């Protein structure tokens, strides 16, 4: 069930966003540790850096909008399933599926939040975050599709060129 942003204060919405960015970082870190494929590991490192940037953006936005308040993280999440799957003994494809759902939910959340924002600059920041979550979804989807087509994709340390036809 999607969160109704109209029932949240700005402070609550940004704290929930921060929780979700932290959870996503944890998932990408776990995936990076589980896989041997150097390309997939590098993509997880990229996503970790993206989530850290998002945390900085959310923190700066919170400080701008609520300068006299401290951000209070709660148990509430944009996509609660992501936190649960990290705690379990999930497979690489389970984690990729959950991460894709979390990115999709985050995109919808930031988009809805941007429509509630009154200040143009805040709207643009939230739309930027929604756009980034959208691109993360498709990056993950591409990796997920490769894993589903080739069950050993994430286990290989390098590509086996003898299995690839190059040329006419």
Query: How far is it, in rounded angstroms, from Cα 62 to Cα 157?
Result: 41
Q: Which residue has the tokens 């923190």?
A: 59
- Name the residue among 62, 68, 67 with its Cα closest to residue 10: 62
Q: What's residue 156's pLDDT?
A: 84
Q: What's residue 89's pLDDT?
A: 81
Per-residue pLDDT in tens (0 to 9) along the chain, 168 residues: 477 889 998 899 999 999 999 999 999 999 999 999 999 999 999 999 999 999 999 999 999 999 999 999 888 889 888 776 777 688 999 999 999 999 999 999 999 999 999 999 999 999 999 999 999 999 999 999 999 998 888 888 776 654 554 555
Q: What are the domain boundaries of the chain?
A: 7-149
Q: What is the CATH number of domain 7-149?
A: 1.20.1260.10
pTM of the predicted model over 0.85: yes
Per residue in 6-43, pLDDT (tens digit) is 999 889 999 999 999 999 999 999 999 999 999 999 99
Neighbour count for residue 147 (Cβ, 10 Å):
21
Q: What's residue 168's pLDDT?
A: 58
Q: Residue 167: left if φ>0, alpha if ψ -120 to 50, beta else—which one?
A: left
Q: What's residue 1's pLDDT?
A: 46
Q: What's residue 161's pLDDT?
A: 52
């Amino acid at each position: 069930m999607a969160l109704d942003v109209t029932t949240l204060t700005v402070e609550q919405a940004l704290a929930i966003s921060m929780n979700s960015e932290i959870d996503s970082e944890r998932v990408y870190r776990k995936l990076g540790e589980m896989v041997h494929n150097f390309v997939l590991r590098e993509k997880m490192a990229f996503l970790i850096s993206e989530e850290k940037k998002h945390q900085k953006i959310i923190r700066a936005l919170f400080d701008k909008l609520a300068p006299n308040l401290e951000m209070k993280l709660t148990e509430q999440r944009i996509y609660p399933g992501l936190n649960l799957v990290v705690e379990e003994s999930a497979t690489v494809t389970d984690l990729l599926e959950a991460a894709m759902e979390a990115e999709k939910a985050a995109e919808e959340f930031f988009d809805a939040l941007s429509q509630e924002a009154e200040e143009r600059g805040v709207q643009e920041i939230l739309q930027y975050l929604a756009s980034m979550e959208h691109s993360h979804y498709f990056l993950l989807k591409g990796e997920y599709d490769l894993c589903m087509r080739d069950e050993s994709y994430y286990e290989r340390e390098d590509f086996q060129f003898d299995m690839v036809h190059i040329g006419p």
